[in-house]
Amino acid sequence: MAAVNDRDTQVRIAAFAFLERLRLVHEHAVPRAVLAEGFIFDGQRVPLIGPQGIFKPAVLPDMPLSITTVPVVEGRARPYADEMSADGFLLYKYRGTDPAHPDNLGLRRAMHRHAPLVYLYGTVPGSYVPVWPVYVIADDPRTLTFKVAVDDASKLPAVVDEVGEGMEARRAYVTTVTMRRLHQEAFRDRVLRAYRGTCSVCRLKHHELLEAAHILPDSDPRGLPIVPNGMALCKLHHAAFDRYIIGIRPDLHVEVRRDVLEEPDGPMLKHGLQEFHGASILVPSRREQRPNAEFLAERYELFKKAC
């Protein structure tokens, strides 16, 4: 960050330290209100998010601090590749259609000065996963798009003159892995919200113990990260579902694998698994968010083969 003035550098370092502290409190997404409140630097409040996607707090002179992607509207979830370039980087749209808009000029300065930014990825309305450092590495006025790379936070403070094939390959890898993780985070948040933060089998409501289970795996071309291909399950029932210890019938009832159902064991097996045999699962109140019946039937056939 040597090409950036000292105050700009200090604010960015303080922002990254603030986000590190947030990780201790927010395991997954961070509420928008927390990001909007931000932190105090030299007596001045520094928010990390604003009303527009490209955001420069007043404390910085001429370059943004963060870029934001809003949550995907349910029912229009994008495949992973939709936000990625062919060479493995994030594609981020201009503010509007004018390449000379002040926000676009600010991101262009960040590109020329190799300034690290924060990327805020919206999972559901009001929740964002912060990723840093990210760098603008290319600008295409023809498509009104910036190319953005995620880098390893352990590389901070960045060496702005670092060039070469090794750096580009590292950033492409980190960006691809990060975007996959972000899409899974968004899937989890959408599913948990649809299921009202409750395990569909046992009704456990502890958010930190809940996960989003795929009905069809994401390795399947139809296994998109959308709510009808998911169920909210606690860690126990997610593991049992993935390993065909329990199955969900198309009529939305639980079956426990025969050998496990007949196995004598302690109270955990009895109360955690066996007692749910034949029980109905909780489903979202909105019909369009309920489990896809065809997917459930296909998954149930796999469960029956494991019995």
Number of H helices, E strands in the chain: 8, 13
Per the prediction, the chain carries an average pLDDT of: 90
Domain boundary among 139, 173, 191: 191
Q: What DSSP character marks residue 91?
A: E
Q: What DSSP character marks residue 100?
A: T
- Give mean pLDDT, residues 65-92: 73
Domain boundary among 151, 170, 191: 191
Q: Is 49 in the same domain as 165?
A: yes
Q: How confident is the model at residue 104 (pLDDT cuts 50, 70, 90)?
A: very high
On the CB side of 224, how many CA atoms lie within 13 Å of its CA?
A: 14
Query: Any residues with CB less than 8 A from the CB of 294 and at least 6 apart, and which?
Result: none
Q: Is 210 helix (H, G, I), strand (E, B) or coil?
A: strand
d(CA 288, CA 66): 34
For the chain, what is the domain count? Answer: 2
| Contact in structure between 250 and 295 (CB atoms under 8 Å) | no
Q: How confident is the model at residue 156 (pLDDT cuts 50, 70, 90)?
A: low
For residue 119, count other CB atoms closer than 10 A to its CB.
Answer: 23
Is the pLDDT assigned to residue 160 strictly greater than 50? no
d(CA 21, CA 36): 15
Q: How confident is the model at residue 86 (pLDDT cuts 50, 70, 90)?
A: confident
Q: Is 33 in the same domain as 166?
A: yes
d(CA 79, CA 60): 35
Q: Is 31 in the same domain as 83?
A: yes
d(CA 228, CA 214): 9
Q: Is 234 left (phi over 0), alpha (psi -120 to 50) or beta?
A: beta
Q: Is 176 in the same domain as 54?
A: yes
Q: Is 44 in the same domain as 74?
A: yes
Instruction: Give the range of the structural domain holding residue 204, as residue numbers without chain letter.
Output: 197-306
206-222 pLDDT per residue, tens? 988 999 999 999 889 89
Q: Is 144 left (phi over 0), alpha (psi -120 to 50) or beta?
A: left
90-99 pLDDT per residue, tens? 999 999 999 9
Q: Is 108 in the same domain as 20?
A: yes
pLDDT value of residue 165: 58
d(CA 303, CA 241): 9
Q: What DSSP character marks residue 253?
A: B
Q: Is residue 1 part of a domain?
A: no
Check whether the bond before 225 is cis (ω within 30° of 0): no
187: part of which helix (H) or strand (E)?
A: helix 165-194
Domain boundary among 133, 168, 191: 191
Q: How confident is the model at residue 280 (pLDDT cuts 50, 70, 90)?
A: very high
